[in-house]
Structure 1
Amino acid sequence: MIPPPEHPNFPDLAFPTPPSSLQAPTPPPPPLPPPAPVLGAAPPHVFGLEKSRLLKEALEKAGRIPSCKEDVKRLLKLQKDRFRSDLRWILFCADLPSLIQEGPQCGLVALCMAGPLLLPPNGVPLERIVQVALEQGYTAHGEMFSAANMGTLAQEVLGCHAELLCGGLGSPNRDRVLWHLVAGHPLLIPYDEDFNHEPCQRRGHKAHWAVCAGVLLGVPDVPSLGYAEDPELPGLFHPVPSTARQPPLLPEEGSLGATYLLSKQGMSWHYQLWDYDQVRDSNLQLTDFSPSRAADGREYVVPAGGVRAGLCGQVLLLTPQAQAIA
């Protein structure tokens, strides 16, 4: 018989030979990986939040952020030929924070800027407004093509009263809008944005949102009670705070160059003065969805009836809840 082969000399894998004193010590095992994150809804991405913070830091380093009155006076000095010299001017305005948008979040940014006037002292963070808009299905990427949804969102996040006006900024809504601004309440307006951020007419292809925080009225005479002339700009008057005053005489509709809206939007931290009729005309022609957006591969939340049904001729009057009840 052929003897069986000898067993090969394998090392004992179960009990290895202990290392000699000349060998390096065995390194410790690597640390365990961190636990997997708990699955859940990711926080909403807020376009432009970092830019807004950087902007705020830059403005604070440069000095105090100019108030609405200071910005308007700057505009009046730079563009003095634009304003009629045969009129005296009364400025009603309220200060708004500065936010710079990135992406299609102009409406949500405009609402956030209006927040301190509706829920003092600081309003609601932009992250919260974005989160609620996403949860309620009002938006997919920050866009807001429904003024009605914008009003509902404002009431949900700011606890304010929102009044949706249809039919545009002209009669019969014109006086209602102007008295709202004279009272110090914000107004949200969809319009077509030109290259310099002013209203233009592009049939809704450049649809944008702005918040109006005041009005500049050109009048033949200033009421005698409750107004003070600006020490730097003769002919410009401001209402005296905490003082009874006579209501101004509103310029008649069709009076050219006598009514300007003090506006702010998410593409610039400066206030702008827009001719009332120019804003009215831009708001009334929002009819079509932008072809460039239609071709960008994204899905947007657009109401039944499109841009015409959601934005055309519509504005939002926002009032703090306490004052709305009163």
Structure 2
Amino acid sequence: MTPAAPVPPQPPPPPSLNSFRTSVQKDNFSVSRIPNDECSWALDYPEVQKGCFLSRVCQYAQPKRCQFYDIPSFLQVGPTCGLTALSMLLNGQPTATELFAEASAQKYTINGEMFSAQYLYELTQKHLNSAGACLFHEGLLDCARIKEQLIGGACLLVPYDADVNHAPCLRSGHRAHWALIVGYLIDDQDKFFVVARHGKTRSLAVWSLVSLSESNANLVEFAQPKGHEGCTFLLPPGGIDGALGLKERSILITALPHKLIRVR
């Protein structure tokens, strides 16, 4: 008797929306993996579409306003997030490596870390020259001044606590990180979001201004960064929550020469 042919294996089930969401930390996330009905208003701006999809922002409704600067993305090497963010703003001239050498000579850093917003502000002032102007901001980010400046075309260098997906979180400063805010978005419910770049990914991120403001205001304690347990880090007088530190500190940059893209 001829044995029955083996039953072919069942094909794998189609991917669910949960499978899309697990890609939040992957730079090779393909925009083609976004369901056709999500964030379709941003089809002509794939980075914005990806950032909004991963953050669940404006999934099915167009934003009232959205704009961002065409600023290059650089990945940081070592704990140089602040210097890398500044180099992005300066279009890579100077590089983060060159800024590190300068900051080290100025006694602002040891390993590339920038636990002082004041020190980074001084570096920013020096290198902007006539390409823009910078203002030091003290206080909460979720305020009229910051919103008005971003709407008017400003960028923002801001320290915050970064979660595992690099979004703002509340870890008392133990995961302190720097980002460059390159634009903003206002959704159909009038909620204000920022468009960000930082040195841990080449992708644009979209975060609520409220969450970024809360994260910036919770920077009160230094914790030895993972992967750098044997390194000595330079803290400003008074610590990261002092007058020269990070808590409720940020840097506004105006009159930029970069191309401004208005999505809406």
- Superposition TM-score, scaled by structure 2 size: 0.72
Q: Which residue of 1 aligns with 2:254?
A: 319
Which residue of the partner structure matches residue 287 of structure 1?
220
Aligned with 2:196: secondary structure? strand
Match runs of 1:203-242 below 5 Å: 203-219=172-188
Q: What residue is the counterpart of 2:203 in the other structure?
A: 270
Cα contact 1:92–1:181 (8 A) shared by 2? no
Q: Give the CA deviation at 1:213.
A: 0.2
- Measure how far apart 1:96 and its partner are: 1.4
1:158 paired to 2:128: yes
Q: Tell whether the 8 Å contact from 1:193 to 1:200 is kept in structure 2 after alignment.
A: yes
- For residues 281 and 191 of structure 1, the distance between their equivalents in structure 2, rounded to whole angstroms, comes to 9
Question: Which residue, out of 192, 195, 200, partners 1:259?
Answer: 192
Report the CA distance between 1:112 and its aligned residue: 0.5
Any idea what the Cα deviations from partners look like across 1:158-209, whole Å, max 9, x if unmatched? 3243211111213xxx222122222322200100010001011110000000
Match of 1:74 in 2: 50
Match of 2:102 in 1: 132
Deviations 1:93-141 (A, max 9, x none): 111111111211000000011113xxxxx64322321221111111111
Larger RCO of the pair (alpha carbons < 8 Å, separation 6+) = 2
Q: For the residues of structure 1 that align with 2:168 and 2:83, how far apart are their CA atoms?
A: 19
Distance change in 2, residues 1:79/1:101 (3 Å):
closer
- Give the length in aligned residue pairs: 211
- Name the amino acid aligned to 2:210: D
Residues 132 and 157 of structure 1 are in contact (CA less than 8 Å); yes or no, is this contact kept in structure 2?
no
88, 91, 94: which is aligned to 2:66?
91
| 2:145 equivalent to 1:176 | yes
Give 5+ residue unaligned stretches, structure 1.
1-54, 56-66, 117-121, 221-250, 252-257
CA RMSD, Structure 1 to Structure 2 (Å) = 2.7
Looking at CA atoms only, which structure, 1 or 2, has the larger radius of gyration?
1
Name the residue aligned to 2:159.
190
CA pair 98-261 structure 1, distance change in 2 beyond 3 A: same
SS of 2:187's equivalent? strand
Tell me if structure 2 keeps the 8 A contact 1:192–1:201: yes
Q: How far apart, in 2, do the equivalents of 1:80 and 1:207 lie?
A: 20
Contact 1:124–1:158 (8 Å) recurs in 2: no
Give 1:219 shift: 4.7
Structure 2: how far apart are the matches of 1:112 and 1:68?
27
Q: Secondary structure at 1:269's aligned position in 2? A: strand
Judge conservation of contact 2:55–2:207 (CA < 8 Å) in 1. no
Q: Which residue of 2 aligns with 1:108?
A: 83
Compared with structure 1, are the counterparts of its residues 123 and 320 closer, same or farther at alpha carbon in structure 2 (3 Å cutoff)? farther
CA distance in 2, matches of 1:128, 1:79: 33
Which residue in 2 is equivalent to 1:30?
none
Aligned to 2:34: none
Q: Does 1:145 align with 2:115?
A: yes
Once residues 205 and 68 of structure 1 are traced to their aligned partners in structure 2, the CA distance between those partners, rounded to angstroms, is: 38
> 1:71: how far off?
0.8
1:144 to 1:81, Cα distance in 2 relative to 1, 3 A: closer
| SS class of match (2:177) | strand
Aligned-residue sequence identity (percent) comes to 30
The 8 Å contact of residues 189 and 209 in structure 1, kept in 2 or not, is answered as yes
Q: What is aligned with 1:200? A: 169
Which structure 2 segments of 5+ residues have no match? 1-26, 28-42, 258-264
Q: Give the Cα–Cα distance (whole angstroms) in 2 for the partners of residues 218 and 315 of structure 1.
A: 24
Q: Separation in 2 of the partners of 1:264 and 1:198?
A: 11
Is this contact kept in 1: 2:137–2:251, CA < 8 A? yes
Name the CA shift for 1:81/1:191 in 2 (closer, same or farther; >3 Å): closer
